[in-house]
Amino acid sequence: MVLGVAHRERVSVVQAYRFALDLTPRQERVVLAHAGAARLAHNWALARVKAVMDQRAAERTYGIDEADLTPTQGWPLPALRRAWNQAKPVVAPWWRDYSKEAFNTGLDALARALKNWSDSRSGKRAGRPVGFPRFKSRRRSTPSVRFTTGAIRVEPDRKHVLLPRLGRLKLHESARKLARRLDAGTARILSATVRRDGGRWHVAFCVEVDRAARTPHQPQAVVGVDLGVRHLAVLSTGEVEPNPRHLDVAGRRLRRLARRMSRRVGPDRRTGRRASKRWERAQAALGRAHARVANLRRDGLHKLTTRLARACGTIVVEDLNVAGMLRNRRLARCIADAGFAELRRQLGYKTAWNGGRLVVADRWYPSSKTCSGCGAVKTKLALSERTYTCTLCGLVLDRDVNAARNLAALAVTVAGSGPETRNGRGADRKTPLAGPVTVKRQPGTATAGKTGTVPPQGRTSDHMLTKAS
């Protein structure tokens, strides 16, 4: 799959602009109340859907015909909204004090969750099975409210934003980047979401932007990117991007804050005990420390992907099985800290914005086992072998640089002009042999006990490929 920009002068994309907020205590209480209204609407609608489903299931056990069962409760957003409008005078008699968008936020989240669950059960949705939606807790859920209608704008001073019912909110930083596009008429705000993340409130604008078509600085340049734990990224040019390991660096502080929180009196759901103020302050400090790690990781990935997308016309990355790699208990922490999936996601849309293309190598393509000089493929390559040595041509090269060069060479065999392209080599789950190999016939066959040689063309090894890069 290739992500690229069509040959047009301008292209319309949807992107987000996120800014930190400096709320007063009163404003924070109002925003929290709107988030609570969204949570109430979500939980009420979910309870209604579950009650109807359980009632229909019980009636079926009684032998009642399908036509005589309790009427179903529709799952789409319009159906949930109609049910809520009928019940809100009783369920929430104070509903006039809050924006209708607050209740719509909870109903929309439930409608999407139910659709994902239904599609996952019927096979329409790929990936892992999606469970049935759960009720949102006031203490465990993230406060959030989304506005799609009403007065949503950036103030002329570019230091304040105006949102429905919330009024004028102060930004922690200037919104000049978004304001310039709005003033020029090349951007249109679709929605605004206020959310608390890491102990701090943020507002994220979903904006439809009319971007000018760009061209990379080197349109013909092809670079292969090999991701790893020892080095975050190794380029086919030989450049090495070090892995900052933000989580390991902050590990000592995180452990100290976690110990401090464990010594405080926390909540207990079994006895109904409320958490102490000291526990809440310790929890907030731990959340801020984790948020700082996430921000540092996000900033580093953005800088790396932006530089690559603006410089090179074609970028080749691997289709890594990150979920499977996280099952390795020895490397899971480092892999999660590196952010492989986020790096590929950013490369996907940034190559499209800059007029390049992203080539995704097949998951089973043996980039680390293949010699970048002669093309010979090793049957096995231990993860501890950091230097690739070819027994045929004598090439001695760092294994990560060798893998990156193989990825860059893969782009030559791939045709495509879209945003993202899959490699066309038809790589399977077996590693092709580098040369003639002696094969022993298995017992029970007509040629049992005999040996022979197998040519390298069109043959694969008897061992499934294990990705070691």
**Rounded-to-integer distance, Cα 174 and Cα 20, Å:** 10
The per-residue pLDDT for 421 is 57
- Distance of alpha carbon 463 from the chain centroid: 32
pLDDT of 447 over the 80 cut: no
pLDDT reported for residue 66: 84
- pTM comes to 0.79
pLDDT band at 91 (very low <50, low <70, confident <90, very high): very high
Residue 8, pLDDT score: 52
Question: What tokens appear for 223 in the block?
Answer: 């670079």
pLDDT > 60? residue 409: yes
Residue type for 123, please? G
Q: Is the pLDDT of residue 5 over 80?
A: no
The pLDDT assigned to 417 comes to 46
221, amino acid identity: A
Q: What are the domain boundaries of the chain?
A: 10-25+142-212, 39-122
What is the rounded average pLDDT of the residues 94-119? Answer: 95
Q: Does pLDDT of 237 surpass 80?
A: yes
Q: Hey, how many other C-beta atoms are within 10 angstroms of the C-beta on 392?
A: 12
Confidence class for position 433, pLDDT limits 50, 70, 90: very low
pLDDT confidence of residue 155: 94
- Give the CA radius of gyration of the chain: 28
**Interval 32-85: pLDDT, tens:** 999 999 999 999 999 999 999 999 999 888 888 888 888 888 889 999 999 999
pLDDT of residue 297: 95
Helix/strand/coil for 333: helix
In contact, 110 and 42? CB cutoff 8 Å: yes
Q: What totals of helices (H) and strands (E) does the chain contain, helices first?
A: 11, 19
- Give the closest residue to 385 by CA, choosing from 370, 372, 368, 371: 368
- Pairwise CA distance, residues 406 & 381, whole Å: 15
Looking at per-residue pLDDT, the higher value among 453 and 417 belongs to 417
Which comes out higher in pLDDT, residue 212 or 414? 212
Q: Are residues 143 and 92 in contact, defined by beta-carbon separation less than 8 angstroms? A: no
User: In whole angstroms, what is the distance from residue 108 CA to residue 148 CA?
Assistant: 12
pLDDT reported for residue 419: 52
For 350-385, b/e burial (b = at least 16 CB within 10 A) is: bbbbbbbbbbbbbebbbbbbbbbbeebbbbebeeee
What is residue 361's three-state secondary structure?
strand
Mean pLDDT of the chain: 85
Q: How far apart are CA 320 and CA 382, in angstroms?
A: 18
Q: How confident is the model at residue 414 (pLDDT cuts 50, 70, 90)?
A: low
How would residue 434 be classed by pLDDT, with cut points 50, 70 and 90? very low
Does residue 293 surpass a pLDDT of 90?
yes
- Segment 408-437 shows an average pLDDT of 54
Contact between 441 and 448 (Cβ < 8 Å): yes
**Band of residue 98 on the pLDDT scale cut at 50, 70, 90:** very high
Mean pLDDT confidence for 300-321? 92
Judged by average pLDDT, the poorest of 5-19, 36-50, 132-146, 346-360 is: 5-19
| First-last CA distance in the chain | 22
More confidently predicted of 437 and 65? 65
Which residues partner with 235 through β-bridges? 225
The percentage of the chain sitting over the pLDDT mark of 90, rounded to a whole number, equals 60
Least confident span in 18-32, 257-271, 289-303, 452-466? 452-466
pLDDT above 50 for 426: no
**Cα–Cα distance measured from residue 225 to residue 298, given in angstroms and rounded to the nearest whole number:** 18
Distance, in Å, from the CA atom of 370 to the CA atom of 390, rounded to the nearest integer, reads 9
> What integer pLDDT is reported at residue 47 of this predicted model?
96
CA–CA separation, 75 and 118 (whole Å): 10
Percent with pLDDT over 70 in the chain: 86
Q: Token pair 């249109």 is at which residue?
A: 188
Query: 200-232 pLDDT, tens per residue?
Result: 999 999 999 998 888 999 998 999 999 988 899
Task: Specify the pLDDT at position 430.
Answer: 45
pLDDT value, residue 198: 84
Residue 246 pLDDT exceeds 50 = yes
pLDDT over 50 at 119, yes or no? yes
Alpha-carbon gap, residue 179 to 374, rounded angstroms: 54
**Alpha helices in 245-375, H assignment, sequence order:** 246-249, 251-262, 277-311, 322-325, 332-338, 340-353
The pLDDT of 379-394, averaged and rounded, is 86
Confidence of residue 169 (pLDDT cuts 50, 70, 90): very high
Point out the residues that are catalytic: 226, 318, 400
Q: Which residues pair with 312 in a beta bridge?
A: 218
Identify the residue with better confidence: 18 or 437.
18
Q: Would you place residue 422 in the very low, low, confident or very high pLDDT band (cuts 50, 70, 90)?
A: low
Residues 86-112: what's their mean pLDDT? 95
Which residue has tokens 């992500």?
A: 3
Give CA–CA dist 195/203, Å, rounded: 6
469: pLDDT strictly greater than 50: no
